[in-house]
Amino acid sequence: MADVKYKNYSEEEDKVYMETMDKVRELLKAGKSLEEAFISVKINNEELKSFIYDDALKIVIAERHFAKGTSLEEVADSLKVPITSIYKAINEMLEDVGHTSAEYYKQTIGQGNFGTA
């Protein structure tokens, strides 16, 4: 399993996140690579920048591959990222889904016995 970190954003970080994502989307539509898009945005907090970069990659994969059926290779080529980065992001996305599902189950069903099935 990947070493996925989760982040709770402060109000200021959330604002930076939203503004950055809007700018990155705009730059990607203009044909920039993911790296070029992130070079163009200024974020002083490197940890926050890393989280936003990871989220942007996952969002693009979801939109282009899962929603539109674009091959993973084409997504990697358009973003100019290694295909291994795409695979790693997808594994993290699947782990996120598992984590979210488990949390939802705990909140709606309760802690109880999980069974063995």
Q: Residues 56-90: pLDDT tens digits? A: 999 999 999 999 999 999 999 999 999 999 999 99
- Span 6-61, pLDDT tens digits: 678 899 999 999 999 999 999 999 999 999 999 999 999 999 999 999 999 999 99
Q: Is this model's pTM higher than 0.75 or not? A: yes
Q: How many Å apart are CA 44 and CA 34, to the nearest integer?
A: 18
